[in-house]
Structure 1
């Protein structure tokens, strides 16, 4: 990846298990797939820090792309909103995971989440941390 010209790439999403991990080199950081994308020129990279559940990951990625493409949010904000929505609406994971292709995302997300995302609210039933927090963004975030 480091040998590719990725200068025009605003965001690379590495939606698989442990894509944000690598070998640590004293004083030089972590060498891994995520770093290779940055060296190649990708401005932002979303990667996971542990093994992830397929269904929860599909739901999170669908929410991430909804916020990126439909809402026009920058990568950091889009990932943050996707994670909050998944955290607050674990019951919506199956529906969100299936929502690929020609889907009315505004309607799907509103139906599943039923309430605006507010960081100050505590949900009655929250998704497990392993289902929403594995993915991190490195880069400028915009």
Structure 2
């Protein structure tokens, strides 16, 4: 039985969040329902609800000194896939016991709760993130509080 509760989101890194949100609106009529600026992490994220999960569109505004730059460097493209877990600590223990390595600087508080990124496992050239299941992670996103600049 999988430790994952459900698919949560996919993270896509872009060079310019304003241009990306404009393009998603113009071409695909996709509107973000939350914009979050995480100054301490040096990132800005637009959240797009998509069915049972969501898409995070991320712009790095500065390097994350306390996080391994080889993994979280600001390169454009699909960066990670995230799954919710019911018991964050148990999932973290289970995955590390199986040999996955936690990215330097994690676990830590994420946009909506505790998160941990793992280096891409052999055979999967994509980072995996686990996130604790909290009310916001259930697909209930607050209204946008800010607009892209």
Q: TM-score, normalised by structure 1?
A: 0.25
Structure having the larger proportion of residues in helix: 1
Q: TM-score, normalised by structure 2?
A: 0.25
Structure having the larger proportion of residues in strand: 2
